[in-house]
């Protein structure tokens, strides 16, 4: 297994946790240079971030890398890209178009409920009317 593969396995086991090159080197038994090269290579891949950040292991602010998976839509489970319009509702993320579908579904359900209530009221009212015989 190559150094970058080992770094990727480490990062994917702890999503959104940043690790500096020194902590990666110590955790995987790599040289500092090998850890730096592997961290930079991993950071260049989609879904990974290499930046000046606080290491979650040693708490130093330094160059660090993390696996940061794209957030997913709570309705369709597709990733939400950086340029996608989205809505946040109760800590859930939705594509804007998925949110509109849910909003429409809720309005349709409300409308059906109101129609059913109206029919019941009409039946009760008709039943109370005196007979015209």
Tens of pLDDT, residues 68-103: 888 889 989 888 887 888 888 888 889 899 989 989
* Statement: residue 124 has pLDDT above 80: yes
Q: What is the pTM of this model?
A: 0.59
For residue 18, pLDDT beyond 80? yes
How would residue 10 be classed by pLDDT, with cut points 50, 70 and 90?
very high
Q: Which residue has the tokens 């939400």?
A: 80
Distance CA 85, CA 38 (A): 33
pLDDT tens for 20-44 read: 999 999 999 999 999 999 999 999 9
**Picking from 47-51, 55-59, 80-84, 97-101, which range would have the lowest pLDDT averaged per residue?**
80-84
* DSSP annotation of 129: S
Q: What does the H/E/C string look like for 83-100? A: CCCEEEECCEEEEHHHHH
Q: pLDDT over 70 for what percent of the chain? A: 98
Give the mean model confidence (pLDDT) for residues 58-72: 92
- For residue 133, pLDDT over 60 is answered with no
Length of the chain: 133
């Amino acid at each position: 297994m190559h150094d970058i593969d080992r770094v990727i396995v480490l990062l994917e086991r702890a999503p959104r946790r940043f690790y500096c090159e020194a902590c990666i080197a110590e955790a995987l038994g790599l040289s500092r240079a090998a850890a730096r090269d592997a961290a930079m290579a991993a950071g260049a891949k989609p879904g990974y971030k290499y930046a000046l950040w606080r290491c979650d292991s040693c708490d130093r602010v330094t160059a660090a890398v993390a696996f940061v998976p794209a957030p997913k839509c709570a309705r369709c489970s597709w990733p939400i890209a950086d340029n996608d319009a989205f809505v946040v509702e109760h800590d859930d993320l939705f594509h804007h178009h998925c949110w509109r579908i849910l909003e429409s579904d809720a309005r349709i359900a409300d409308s059906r409920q109101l129609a059913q209530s109206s029919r019941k009221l009409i039946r009760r009212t008709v039943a109370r009317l005196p007979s015209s015989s």
